[in-house]
């Protein structure tokens, strides 16, 4: 399975492509950053990001596009640009009939490092280690895009089912599955109130 990870951003949009095999072995395929010029008008910047994302998706024909789920940040301008870039990635995938998955930064950190509160450098080091890279992917947007793709590949709801799946989960995946289960339970309790 080819997975394209997207770390959305209006100035720098990370794109990381990996291959995930049934044995949960991950291989590096490609990483890049699509950039837009902050001096341009926002419409032209969005067009630049969209064209760059569409080009990467066409080049690598992924089976799924995994995008960072946007969350509210203190800086509204940053979150707006991030949300717009995420929407462009979803649009590019949808136009090509490619499924989209959304994962939060905490889910990504937990899947890749086993710690949902991991520092950026820890994520970068684990990305390089798991993908057997000679050096850390730079800039951070590139590493985040690869981590996003890896998160989707390592998610507990992978191809294995039932007890067989439980036997093949890493410690990080077990922790992630437990955290998801707890979040779902809290959500159902709140809806019942």
For residue 68, say whether it is annotated as part of any ligand binding site: yes
39, 68, 166, 192: the catalytic one is 68
Helix (H, G, I), strand (E, B) or coil at 30: strand
Is residue 192 annotated as a catalytic residue, yes or no? no
Catalytic residue chosen out of the listed positions 107, 124, 141, 144: 141
Structure tokens at 178: 């437990």
Cα Rg of the chain (Å, integer): 17
- What CA–CA distance (Å, rounded) separates 76 from 82? 10
The yes-or-no answer on residue 39 being catalytic is no
Q: Which helix (H) or strand (E) holds 9?
A: none
Q: What is the DSSP string of 73-104?
A: -S-HHHHHHHHHHHHHHHHHHHHTT--EEEE-
Nearest-10 crossing angle of helices 140-154, 105-113: 70
DSSP readout, 128-179?
HHHTT-SS--SSHHHHHHHHHHHHHHH-TTSS--HHHHHHH--HHHHHHHHH
For the question of residue 141 being annotated catalytic, the response is yes
Report the distance separating Cα 107 and Cα 26, nearest Å. 18
Q: Which of 7, 107, 124, 144 is catalytic?
A: 7
Annotated binding site: 7, 68, 141
Residues belonging to the active site: 7, 68, 141
- Binding site as annotated, residues for Mg(2+): 7, 68, 141
């Amino acid at each position: 399975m080819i997975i394209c990870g997207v770390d959305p951003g209006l100035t720098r949009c990370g794109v990381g492509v990996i291959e995930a095999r049934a044995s949960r072995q991950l291989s590096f395929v490609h990483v890049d950053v699509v950039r837009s010029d902050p001096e341009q008008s926002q419409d032209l910047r969005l067009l630049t990001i969209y064209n760059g994302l569409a080009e990467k998706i066409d080049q690598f024909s992924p089976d799924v596009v995994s995008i960072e789920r946007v969350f509210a940040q203190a800086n509204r301008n940053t979150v707006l640009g991030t949300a717009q870039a995420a929407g462009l990635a979803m649009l590019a995938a949808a136009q090509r009939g490619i499924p989209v998955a959304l994962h939060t930064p905490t889910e990504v950190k937990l899947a890749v490092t086993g710690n949902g509160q991991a520092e950026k450098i820890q994520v970068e080091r684990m990305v390089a280690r798991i993908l057997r890279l000679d050096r850390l992917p730079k800039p951070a947007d590139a590493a985040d895009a690869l981590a996003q793709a890896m998160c989707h590949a390592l998610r507990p709801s992978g191809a294995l089912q039932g007890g067989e799946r439980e036997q093949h989960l890493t410690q990080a995946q077990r922790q992630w599955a437990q955290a998801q289960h707890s979040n779902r339970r809290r959500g159902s309790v709140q809806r019942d109130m």
